[in-house]
Structure 1
Amino acid sequence: MLDFWKIFQDPNTQWILMGCMLLGLSSGVIGSFAYLRKQSLMGDALSHAALPGVCIVFMLTGSKSVLLFLVGAAAAGLLATFAIGFITRQSRIKQDSALAIILTVFFGVGIVLLTQIQHSGSGNQSGLDKFLFGQAASMIHSDVITMAIISILLIGACTLLFKEFKLISFDPGFARGLGFPVTVLEQFIMFLIVVAVVVGLQAVGVVLMAALLITPAVSARYWTEKLNVMVVLSGIFGALSGLIGTLISASGSNLPTGPFIVLSATAIFAISLLCAPRRGILSKVFLRISVRNNVRREDTAFPSLQEGSNL
């Protein structure tokens, strides 16, 4: 306990802790709608697609500005969403195949550009490889402020458009019949996912960001049947993952923050899978045992019925 108290007293750790919790909170909220719309791979595709945007911005400006990196990553992510939509609308290729195509193509281009930068004169000092797995320790006060503002905007947008997002997530045909701009709303959800992914690149990285989007939402789904409760739980689970992962990372030396955040989210999922009251494995096992015991008691109490059924 004393070690954790010392960790909380470190100003740098406080900023990192705040940033990772805000990242988990916003990712969990917007990830709920991605999960419900069966777009679990969307976060993976967009996070991988952001890498070439980061590399191109560095090649054009030669600057290591996090804000410029975020702009480049957002532009690449939006381009990826339009490419996915174009492929699915103009061909017979389904969305999962389009996601796989865009993910591999954009990430391949990003790796080529990253290799080219690292072999150039300033490549060794660029630090762009940190975007693959994240480097939360490099976050400063301004980065956390940026995360806070973007998290508030993401959560505010999901709150204001909750009914619309709920409708297009469960029945887009009905929403279109009511006159809702379904295509615009779907693209706006994609844009929010892009923003969440881009913000998380510095802390969690390209490879692991998809897990932080989807895992809290899947965990929350085990605990409730109501969408509003699920969204709130998903945000709480995401923030808790950021808290636990950061504390574990700060408790030792050379422990990466991003992977521990994802592992914390996975641990919460495992607990949900086992212990959720209605959907959990243990709950189903206990229910089966209870039903079996009730049947045995009924057979014992009314043996004549059992004999008559055998006859």
Structure 2
Amino acid sequence: MFDFLHVLHLHDATVRSVLFGSLLIGATGGVLGSFAVLRRRSLMGDALAHAALPGVALAFLWTGSKSLPVLISGATCTGVLGVLLIQFITTRTRIKADAAIGIVLTVFFGIGIVLLTHIQRSLVGNQAGLDKFLFGQAASMVEDDVRVMSVMSLLIIVVVLLLYKEFKALIFDPKFLQSLGYSLQRVDLALMGLIVLTVMVGLQAVGVVLIAAMLITPAVAARFWTERLHVMVVLAAFIGGLSGASGTFLSAQAPRVPTGPVMVLVATGLFVLSGLLAPRRGLLARWRRQRSNVLRERRHHFLRALVVLQERSDNAPRFRVDELVQELGWERRRVAGEARRLRRLHLVDCRDGHVQATAQGLAEGTFVVKSHRLWEHYLVYRDIVNADHVDRPADEVEHLLTPDILERLEEILQRDHGIDTERVVDIHGRGSQYRPAGRERNEVGT
């Protein structure tokens, strides 16, 4: 408990550096990840991270220094080279983007592993710690590293703000962007360049293996909560920063647990929560909507059956459960359960084994019957569906028709076919004016 409070009060300079660095990594990754995800370049960050590994090794071999600016400069060079190679492969050959990313990722990563192995087996005494770029080691960050990361993060955010409209148009309407005189390739390269810098910011803490998770996961989690790009960018930055801060505090409680993987696990946890609890796109919200639709359809079918039975029996108000079972084609237990549910909604009354619609239930049932019959007439008279096969399409649509749509259907049927929509009847019944040969009877019921 004391250790946790000590970490929480940020007395340790190392903890402050790691915390601030992790916040920068998470927030910057969330911002650029939003554009990468919507641009369908999610795996680009992974490819660039693996492409950066040879640059780290070559920068060390050339300078003999493990200074973060030197290593990031080398990583940036090979990362940009990776982007250009992917662009070249996709534009000059028939190879698709996913295959090009896979080629660049594996080749550059293989070269990086070979170079790191060579460095570790050489007589160079300063090579220790280079392998941290594979899996990350946030605890090794010092204040100078955080300053470098801060400058890079600030540069990334400023460029995103300046080119926000261009990036937005590139994602949602590239033809419009092109019509304004912009080069799509150059704008896309600018976005890829920012992703390269974002990957470089997080290499030391998260490593080339997991940096893609901090680029993609916060953005995907934010996507569950909103339909607006600017809101998604802000939410992704918040989720990424929260993941970084939480990962730092949690890993500080277990000194042997690296911070980078904990950050990724926290981001994944937030992604799972977002996927479950988001109000519109979450799994629970979707389940509630589907459940509501199922219950609404059952209610409509039940009330429609009561209205149809009432028409057949000269407006008898009450019906036995067996009659409803026969009309609906449901099991008796299901009919009884639906009757109890509708009774709680004050749509029906259940007494002595009989079911009767209330005034509210009768009004809703009449609306459903009219919707069903008007849609049947529309499909048949417009020669969209044969009369023998029109019942099922009407069953599927009757739950979605609104009063405005019904008013439009009535207008069409009255104007074009002379149908009295106030007395619309079952198109399959004897009172219907429709005949398969196209001849219509002028009098109802003959």
Counterpart pick for 1:182 among 167, 181, 184:
184
- Residue in structure 1 matched with residue 289 of structure 2 by the alignment: 287
* 1:124 to partner: Cα distance: 7.3
- Residue in structure 1 matched with residue 68 of structure 2 by the alignment: 66
- How many pairs are equivalent? 311
Distance in structure 1 (CA, Å) of the matches to 2:304 and 2:94: 61
- Residue in structure 2 matched with residue 209 of structure 1 by the alignment: 211
Structure 1 contact 117–123 (Cα < 8 Å) conserved: no
Which protein shows a greater Rg? 2
- Residue in structure 1 matched with residue 17 of structure 2 by the alignment: 15
1:81–1:132 Cα change, 3 Å: same
Distance in structure 2 (CA, Å) of the matches to 1:106 and 1:73: 11
Measured against aligned partners, the alpha-carbon deviations of 1:251-273 in whole angstroms (never above 9, x if no partner) come to 11201111011111111110011
- Residue in structure 1 matched with residue 5 of structure 2 by the alignment: 5
- Residue in structure 2 matched with residue 81 of structure 1 by the alignment: 83
Distance in structure 2 (CA, Å) of the matches to 1:111 and 1:27: 25
TM-score (norm 2): 0.67
2:92 maps to a residue whose letter is: Q
* 1:179 to partner: Cα distance: 1.1
Measured against aligned partners, the alpha-carbon deviations of 1:246-303 in whole angstroms (never above 9, x if no partner) come to 1111111201111011111111110011111111101111112222333344445554
1:173–1:243 Cα change, 3 Å: same
- Residue in structure 1 matched with residue 384 of structure 2 by the alignment: none
Distance in structure 1 (CA, Å) of the matches to 2:308 and 2:169: 50
* 1:126 to partner: Cα distance: 2.7
Bigger mean CA offset, 179-188 vs 268-277: 179-188
- Residue in structure 2 matched with residue 251 of structure 1 by the alignment: 253
Distance in structure 2 (CA, Å) of the matches to 1:194 and 1:270: 27
Distance in structure 1 (CA, Å) of the matches to 2:81 and 2:166: 24
Matches within 5 A, 1:1-311: 2-8=2-8, 9=10, 10-122=12-124, 125-305=127-307
2:67 maps to a residue whose letter is: S
- Residue in structure 1 matched with residue 376 of structure 2 by the alignment: none
1:292 maps to a residue whose letter is: V
1:94–1:123 Cα change, 3 Å: farther
Structure 1 contact 299–306 (Cα < 8 Å) conserved: no
**Structure ranking higher on relative contact order (CA contacts 8 Å, 6+ apart):** 1
* 1:60 to partner: Cα distance: 1.2
Please give the secondary structure, in 1, of the residue aligned with 2:155: helix
- Residue in structure 1 matched with residue 354 of structure 2 by the alignment: none
1:147–1:306 Cα change, 3 Å: farther
Measured against aligned partners, the alpha-carbon deviations of 1:143-199 in whole angstroms (never above 9, x if no partner) come to 111222221221121112111100001222221122122221111111100001011
Bigger mean CA offset, 209-218 vs 10-19: 10-19
Distance in structure 2 (CA, Å) of the matches to 1:306 and 1:240: 59
Measured against aligned partners, the alpha-carbon deviations of 1:49-85 in whole angstroms (never above 9, x if no partner) come to 0000000111111111111000000000001111111
TM-score (norm 1): 0.95
Q: Which has more helix, going by share of residues? A: 1
Distance in structure 2 (CA, Å) of the matches to 1:3 and 1:289: 48
2:60 maps to a residue whose letter is: F
Structure 2 contact 49–203 (Cα < 8 Å) conserved: yes
Distance in structure 1 (CA, Å) of the matches to 2:153 and 2:91: 31
Bigger mean CA offset, 298-307 vs 284-293: 298-307
Percent identity among equivalent residues? Answer: 52
Bigger mean CA offset, 5-14 vs 297-306: 297-306
Distance in structure 2 (CA, Å) of the matches to 1:28 and 1:61: 33
Distance in structure 2 (CA, Å) of the matches to 1:262 and 1:168: 29
Please give the secondary structure, in 2, of the residue aligned with 1:203: helix
Structure 2 contact 64–126 (Cα < 8 Å) conserved: no
1:291 maps to a residue whose letter is: N
Across the aligned residues of Structure 1 and Structure 2, the Cα RMSD in angstroms comes to: 1.7
Residue ranges of structure 2 left out of the alignment (5+ in a row): 313-326, 329-427, 429-446
Distance in structure 1 (CA, Å) of the matches to 2:170 and 2:307: 52
Distance in structure 2 (CA, Å) of the matches to 1:186 and 1:291: 42
Bigger mean CA offset, 173-182 vs 127-136: 173-182
Distance in structure 2 (CA, Å) of the matches to 1:90 and 1:123: 44
Measured against aligned partners, the alpha-carbon deviations of 1:203-226 in whole angstroms (never above 9, x if no partner) come to 100100011101111111110001
Distance in structure 2 (CA, Å) of the matches to 1:58 and 1:11: 27
Distance in structure 2 (CA, Å) of the matches to 1:264 and 1:272: 12
2:41 maps to a residue whose letter is: Q
